[in-house]
A and B are shown apart, each in its own frame.
Chain A
Amino acid sequence: MNSVLQMTVNGRPRADVVADNMLLVDYLREVCGLTGTKIGCDGGECGACTILADGGARLSCLTLAHSCAGQVIETVEGQATRGELSAVQSSFHEKLGSQCGYCTPGMIMTSESLLRTNTNPTEDEIREALGGNICRCTGYIKIIESVQAAAEIINASREAAE
């Protein structure tokens, strides 16, 4: 069965005719053309498909698209504003939190979700939050450093604003 699905994706309201059994990851990649969200496993093993649904990290490969009706969905493509990389994105680039780049969208979205609720995470909190995201290139050290650098940028810009 197909039915109309309405949701906001990266700030843009959408209404698409979508199969009831379509996974969110397939909806984002095939219907919206947002291929930044990656498929790295056969379901819930690796975290590469992590997106934000109403601000919370969610595995889009284990989520039916229709279950997100009316929600605000964010993917890696929506993180840069007016061409400027987000703090998490620029930190992953500058600190080499990304090597082959395939786990990167999921890492960035999980980190984003963490830093929105906790701008001063300890190393253990970072490890805990990103424990479900597998990376095969880095040994995770530079990913942790990227998240820490992003936290510093976010805190610095907050202080500057105050």
Chain B
Amino acid sequence: MTDELQHPRDSVTPNDPQPDPSPDPERKVRSVGERLPLIDGPDKVTGRAKYAGDLAQDALVGRILHGRYSHAEIVSIDTTEAAALPGVVCVLTGEDTTQPYGILPIAMLEYPLANGRVRYRGEPVAAVAAIDAATAAKAISLIKVEYNELPAYYTAEEARAPDAVQLHESRAGNQERDVHFELGDTEAEFANSDLVVEESYQCAEVNQVHMEPNAAVAEFDPIRQHLTIWPSTQVPFYGHLIFARCLGLEKGQVRVIKPFVGGGFGARTETLHHEVICAHLAKATGSTVRLTTSREETFITHRGRPETQVNLKMGMNKDGKLTGLASEVVQRGGGYPSYGIVTILYAGTLMYGIYDIPAVKYDGYRILTNTPPCGAFRGHGTVNVRFAIENLMDRMSEELGLDPFEVRRKNLLVTPTYTANDIMVNSYGLPECLDWVQKESNWDERIKNLAPNKGLGMACAHYVSGAAKPVHWTGEPHAVVNLKLDFDGAITALTGAADIGQGSSTMVVQCVAETLNLDASQIKLMANDSDHTPKDNGSYSSRVTYMVGNAALDAARSMRQILAEAAATLLDAKSEDIEFDGTLFRVAGSQDPGIEYMDVVVEALKDEGTITAKGTFSTPVSAQGGRKFRGSAVGPTMGFSYSAEVVEITVDPDTSQVTVDNIWIAHDLGFALNPLSCEGQIQGSAWMGMGQALSEETRYHNGLLISGNMLDYRVPTMVESPPMDIKMVESIDPNGPYGAKEAGEGSLPSFIPALANAVRMATGVRMTETPITPDRLHEARARYEREQANNVAAE
């Protein structure tokens, strides 16, 4: 694949035709570009689909004891009574789980069960396996833990104080990572700008709330010393490494099978403690253990988006041209590193790649605090910073008397190009996204005729289509797909891509079917069984369509060649002259009666037997971005998606409740491999953005989670969820599979500033905090009205 990749410096234009094979509208059999329902849909609508908690109903039941302090040394744990309870098979504490782990090789500070110290309230300190749930619960209540409480820090500011106790020995100043870079000279740019504005933004912590609470089933065979585990995860491969590491097994003694997974949105892009604890319990009991966690426990496990402060300074000229952007970001990371280093890096590197900004400066601080660990959440790293940037752009446009659409157009990239840090941008559908939402929302007319308490706002965003650099540097390709063809003529695609509901399995089938000119129903699929399917890094950073899709294409091309050669032998022709119309193989342009598919399969298997065709995808070094600052490995991608949104709202003048009336979204996804599925992704992301914008936030009282359920943590229901008009802009990325890019994240970050900008129009108040709850907005409106009155009085 590598040699076929195209780069901006090869003077590729974004709208160049896609390399072979391109979707052919004349084809009899179509697969990509079709509104294909998900291949595993029938399992989901009949209840046949098995999620981790549905498996092994007769297994031992695992349960976790959670620590009751935010920050404390564990003085002693007495498990005698619990272990003696009839029906209890084993009790484990931190002394039994001594191998630390973590998603980033440079930040493995977490233990399955706390190792002498708890750093957030609810951290696992002990676990039991028992014959049933009631016995397990009783056993948990019998474990006695003695603590020595330490000072706890619930804000980044407290944890950064000079005299603060360090949470981790290796993290001075409770700082997980600081990041600093400057590309261009921001101060010089600000000095020459017509308008420079500084503003601070505060975003509350939010949680993914995937519908399936965390769960795992693990089976340990003590004779063969072999672990099989079914975890609810987005990253079975990373789990594989961690289970082997923590249990002291060789990787070959572990088999990871991903069952159906009830969403993830980033929470499950790292191996979580319940999975490792379940594996430990299985090994300790030499048996099968099922560990399902409650919704509250799932909330406490967390890995959501951190509480974030963004301090921005932006320069703009009278014509709307951005001159410079300086950003300082502080994230309250929680008690353990998780993906924190990546999050704080993305918050800086995703400042560029969307607009042309001559100078960018970034200072990022990821802080360790005594709250549940934050992780990767849909739109990883960019969401809160994008909220700040688009909000400030709107304010500055207004101050300069400029139209917000024109300001965005003034700052468009000229593509193909490389960004300030040498990240390539080939396809760039943002101009078309802007045009579409402006026209379809009837912005220009609507804005002139807004009723009282109504507001209209717009904003843009972008997101990566897969991180160009891997977490583990092994030299392997980024993705591998195998195709198996056997005596029955069936082609089975084997992939490690983790379908978590986003439809990756369907996407692989479509890419293979399209390339082979077969109907999607003729392709079988097997995913995520480490004994059978190729390794895959997992479902995160919107990498799967781009990387696994390309590997599937590559494998299908090899299979097509094998079939063409077999047909050529039968037809006494050259393989390059063979064409297949979905039913018959014949020499192109000939009047041959043609040869049936099965006859060609029989010929291909002669002397060979079962055929395996393999496809790979790797990101070339030239697409991996520059090395202009420490941490510049995070941010580079083969292609950015782009999104523009317009949001129309009504604000209740008495209660300050914001109701979203309409949303218009244009999302540049390169090419819609499956328009049905892509629409679902875009609708879901914008809606999730609405939750963060209006109602969602985790709340703690002295470290105790007080929003650990779906009533206090306010997820929007169907009643308040608006209709949406969606345009899928197809910029045809020269390197994406059939031109496809990311579809499932980029429309989340654009929603939140679009809504805040609409609130400004409706009320006069420019909100710099999320979520914009009725109480926050009410207070801000009262403040605004007092200021207005004072201004009038002063005049």
Interface residues, chain A, CB within 8 Å of chain B? 29-30, 33-42, 45-46, 48, 75-77, 79-80, 85, 89-90, 92-96, 98-105, 108, 126-128, 130-144
Establish whether residues A100 and B680, one from each chain, have CB atoms under 8 Å apart when the complex forms. Answer: no
Q: A42-B295, A102-B263 are in contact. List 16 more A-B contacts (CB 8 A).
A: A38-B262, A40-B212, A40-B295, A93-B38, A98-B45, A99-B680, A100-B501, A101-B44, A133-B718, A134-B715, A135-B718, A137-B501, A138-B680, A138-B687, A140-B687, A140-B721
Interface residues of B in 179-234 (CB under 8 A from A): 208-213
Given contacts A136-B209, A138-B684, A142-B680, contact A98 B718 (CB under 8 A): no
Least CB separation from B132: chain A residue? A30
Question: B57 an interface residue at 8 Å Cβ cutoff?
Answer: yes
Given contacts A29-B57, A77-B46, A101-B501, contact A139 B686 (CB under 8 A): yes
Compute how far the CA of A17 lies from the CA of B210 in the bound complex, rounded to whole angstroms. 34
Compute how far the CA of A38 lies from the CA of B721 in the bound complex, rounded to whole angstroms. 23
- Select which of A75, A96, A133 is within 8 A of B677 by beta carbon: A96
Least CB separation from A99: chain B residue? B501
Q: Which of chain B's residues have a CB closer than 8 A to the CB of A132? A: 717
Establish whether residues A37 and B710, one from each chain, have CB atoms under 8 Å apart when the complex forms. Answer: no
Given contacts A34-B47, A139-B684, contact A39 B57 (CB under 8 A): no
Compute how far the CA of A104 lies from the CA of B723 in the bound complex, rounded to whole angstroms. 20
Main secondary structure of the interface of B (DSSP, over half): loop
Establish whether residues A45 and B711, one from each chain, have CB atoms under 8 Å apart when the complex forms. Answer: yes
Establish whether residues B47 and A76, one from each chain, have CB atoms under 8 Å apart when the complex forms. Answer: yes
Instruction: Fill in one digit per residue for B440-466: 1 if any A CB lies within 8 Å of its CB, else 0.
Output: 000000000000000000000000000
Establish whether residues B54 and A35, one from each chain, have CB atoms under 8 Å apart when the complex forms. Answer: yes
Q: Which of chain A's residues have a CB closer than 8 A to the CB of B49? A: 101
Compute how far the CA of A99 lies from the CA of B539 in the bound complex, rounded to whole angstroms. 15
Least CB separation from B46: chain A residue? A80
Given contacts A99-B502, A144-B718, contact A46 B710 (CB under 8 A): yes
Establish whether residues A127 and B719, one from each chain, have CB atoms under 8 Å apart when the complex forms. Answer: yes
Question: B265 an interface residue at 8 Å Cβ cutoff?
Answer: yes
Least CB separation from A26: chain B residue? B133
Establish whether residues A139 and B724, one from each chain, have CB atoms under 8 Å apart when the complex forms. Answer: yes
Establish whether residues A40 and B211, one from each chain, have CB atoms under 8 Å apart when the complex forms. Answer: yes
Main secondary structure of the interface of A (DSSP, over half): loop
Within the complex, the shortest CB–CB distance from B192 to chain A, in Å, comes to 44
Q: Which of chain A's residues have a CB closer than 8 A to the CB of B683? A: 138-139, 141-142
Q: Which of chain B's residues have a CB closer than 8 A to the CB of A46? A: 211, 295, 710
Compute how far the CA of A104 lies from the CA of B721 in the bound complex, rounded to whole angstroms. 18
Could you write out 25 A-B pairs with CB less than 8 Å apart?
A35-B53, A35-B57, A40-B262, A41-B295, A93-B38, A93-B41, A93-B45, A96-B38, A96-B677, A96-B680, A98-B41, A99-B503, A101-B40, A101-B44, A102-B211, A108-B45, A132-B717, A133-B718, A134-B710, A134-B717, A137-B263, A139-B686, A139-B687, A139-B724, A141-B683
Counting from the closest, the 6 A-B pairs by CB-CB distance are A36-B47, A100-B501, A139-B687, A102-B262, A101-B44, A35-B54
Q: Which of chain B's residues have a CB closer than 8 A to the CB of A139? A: 683-684, 686-688, 721, 724
Within the complex, the shortest CB–CB distance from B243 to chain A, in Å, comes to 23
Establish whether residues A93 and B211, one from each chain, have CB atoms under 8 Å apart when the complex forms. Answer: no
Question: B43 an interface residue at 8 Å Cβ cutoff?
Answer: yes
Establish whether residues B718 and A127, one from each chain, have CB atoms under 8 Å apart when the complex forms. Answer: yes
Compute how far the CA of A40 lies from the CA of B44 in the bound complex, rounded to whole angstroms. 15
Q: Which of chain B's residues have a CB closer than 8 A to the CB of A79? A: 46
Within the complex, the shortest CB–CB distance from A54 to chain B, in Å, comes to 20
Establish whether residues B47 and A137, one from each chain, have CB atoms under 8 Å apart when the complex forms. Answer: no
Question: B48 an interface residue at 8 Å Cβ cutoff?
Answer: yes
Compute how far the CA of A90 lies from the CA of B711 in the bound complex, rounded to whole angstroms. 31
Interface residues of B in 686-734 (CB under 8 A from A): 686-688, 709-711, 715, 717-719, 721, 723-724
Least CB separation from B708: chain A residue? A42
Within the complex, the shortest CB–CB distance from A36 to chain B, in Å, comes to 2
Q: Which of A29, A30, A100 has the most CB of B within 10 A?
A: A100
Given contacts A39-B53, A42-B294, A136-B715, contact A100 B212 (CB under 8 A): yes
Q: Which of chain B's residues have a CB closer than 8 A to the CB of A136? A: 208-211, 263, 265, 684, 688, 715
Q: Which of chain A's residues have a CB closer than 8 A to the CB of B37? A: 93-96
Compute how far the CA of A79 lies from the CA of B45 in the bound complex, rounded to whole angstroms. 9
Q: Which of chain A's residues have a CB closer than 8 A to the CB of B680? A: 96, 99, 137-138, 142
Q: Which of chain A's residues have a CB closer than 8 A to the CB of B513? A: none
Instruction: Fill in one digit per residue for B287-317: 1 if any A CB lies within 8 Å of its CB, else 0.
Output: 0000010111000000000000000000000
Q: Which of chain A's residues have a CB closer than 8 A to the CB of B261? A: 100
Within the complex, the shortest CB–CB distance from A65 to chain B, in Å, comes to 15
Establish whether residues B211 and A135, one from each chain, have CB atoms under 8 Å apart when the complex forms. Answer: yes
Interface residues of B in 31-64 (CB under 8 A from A): 37-38, 40-51, 53-54, 57
Least CB separation from A141: chain B residue? B683
Compute how far the CA of A132 lies from the CA of B40 in the bound complex, rounded to whole angstroms. 26
Compute how far the CA of A143 lies from the CA of B41 in the bound complex, rounded to whole angstroms. 14
Least CB separation from A48: chain B residue? B211
- Select which of A75, A104, A140, A143 is within 8 A of B44 by beta carbon: A104
Within the complex, the shortest CB–CB distance from A57 to chain B, in Å, comes to 14
Q: Which of chain B's residues have a CB closer than 8 A to the CB of A94? A: 37, 41
Least CB separation from B683: chain A residue? A139
Compute how far the CA of A132 lies from the CA of B47 in the bound complex, rounded to whole angstroms. 20
Compute how far the CA of A103 lies from the CA of B209 in the bound complex, rounded to whole angstroms. 12
Establish whether residues A105 and B503, one from each chain, have CB atoms under 8 Å apart when the complex forms. Answer: no
Question: B260 an interface residue at 8 Å Cβ cutoff?
Answer: yes
Compute how far the CA of A137 lies from the CA of B145 in the bound complex, rounded to whole angstroms. 40
Question: B780 an interface residue at 8 Å Cβ cutoff?
Answer: no
Compute how far the CA of A35 lies from the CA of B719 in the bound complex, rounded to whole angstroms. 28
Within the complex, the shortest CB–CB distance from B190 to chain A, in Å, comes to 40
Within the complex, the shortest CB–CB distance from A85 to chain B, in Å, comes to 6
Q: Which of chain A's residues have a CB closer than 8 A to the CB of B235? A: none
Compute how far the CA of A46 lies from the CA of B688 in the bound complex, rounded to whole angstroms. 16
Establish whether residues A89 and B50, one from each chain, have CB atoms under 8 Å apart when the complex forms. Answer: no
Establish whether residues A36 and B46, one from each chain, have CB atoms under 8 Å apart when the complex forms. Answer: yes
Instruction: Fill in one digit per residue for B100-115: 1 if any A CB lies within 8 Å of its CB, else 0.
Output: 0000000000000000
Within the complex, the shortest CB–CB distance from B568 to chain A, in Å, comes to 40
Q: Which of chain B's residues have a CB closer than 8 A to the CB of A131? A: 717-719
Least CB separation from B48: chain A residue? A36
Q: Which of chain B's residues have a CB closer than 8 A to the CB of A33? A: 57
Q: Which of chain B's residues have a CB closer than 8 A to the CB of A85? A: 42, 45-46
Least CB separation from B500: chain A residue? A100
Establish whether residues B265 and A37, one from each chain, have CB atoms under 8 Å apart when the complex forms. Answer: no
Within the complex, the shortest CB–CB distance from B53 to chain A, in Å, comes to 7
Q: Which of chain A's residues have a CB closer than 8 A to the CB of B294? A: 42
Question: B526 an interface residue at 8 Å Cβ cutoff?
Answer: no
- Select which of B47, B292, B723 is within 8 A of A105 by beta carbon: B47
Establish whether residues A141 and B723, one from each chain, have CB atoms under 8 Å apart when the complex forms. Answer: yes
Compute how far the CA of A92 lies from the CA of B715 in the bound complex, rounded to whole angstroms. 22
Least CB separation from A89: chain B residue? B45
Instruction: Fill in one digit per residue for B414-450: 1 if any A CB lies within 8 Å of its CB, else 0.
Output: 0000000000000000000000000000000000000
Question: B676 an interface residue at 8 Å Cβ cutoff?
Answer: yes
Establish whether residues A102 and B295, one from each chain, have CB atoms under 8 Å apart when the complex forms. Answer: no
Interface residues of B in 485-521 (CB under 8 A from A): 500-503
Compute how far the CA of A39 lies from the CA of B297 in the bound complex, rounded to whole angstroms. 14
Q: Which of chain B's residues have a CB closer than 8 A to the CB of A90? A: 45
Q: Which of chain B's residues have a CB closer than 8 A to the CB of A98? A: 38, 41, 44-45
Establish whether residues A45 and B717, one from each chain, have CB atoms under 8 Å apart when the complex forms. Answer: no
Establish whether residues B687 and A39, one from each chain, have CB atoms under 8 Å apart when the complex forms. Answer: no
- Select which of A30, A41, A104 is within 8 A of B45 by beta carbon: A104
Compute how far the CA of A103 lies from the CA of B718 in the bound complex, rounded to whole angstroms. 13
Given contacts A33-B57, A131-B719, contact A41 B724 (CB under 8 A): no
Compute how far the CA of A30 lies from the CA of B723 in the bound complex, rounded to whole angstroms. 39
Q: Which of chain B's residues have a CB closer than 8 A to the CB of A138? A: 680, 683-684, 687
Least CB separation from B43: chain A residue? A101
Within the complex, the shortest CB–CB distance from A106 to chain B, in Å, comes to 9
Compute how far the CA of A113 lies from the CA of B45 in the bound complex, rounded to whole angstroms. 16
Within the complex, the shortest CB–CB distance from B137 to chain A, in Å, comes to 13
Within the complex, the shortest CB–CB distance from B234 to chain A, in Å, comes to 11
Q: Which of chain A's residues have a CB closer than 8 A to the CB of B677? A: 96
Q: Which of chain A's residues have a CB closer than 8 A to the CB of B53? A: 35, 39
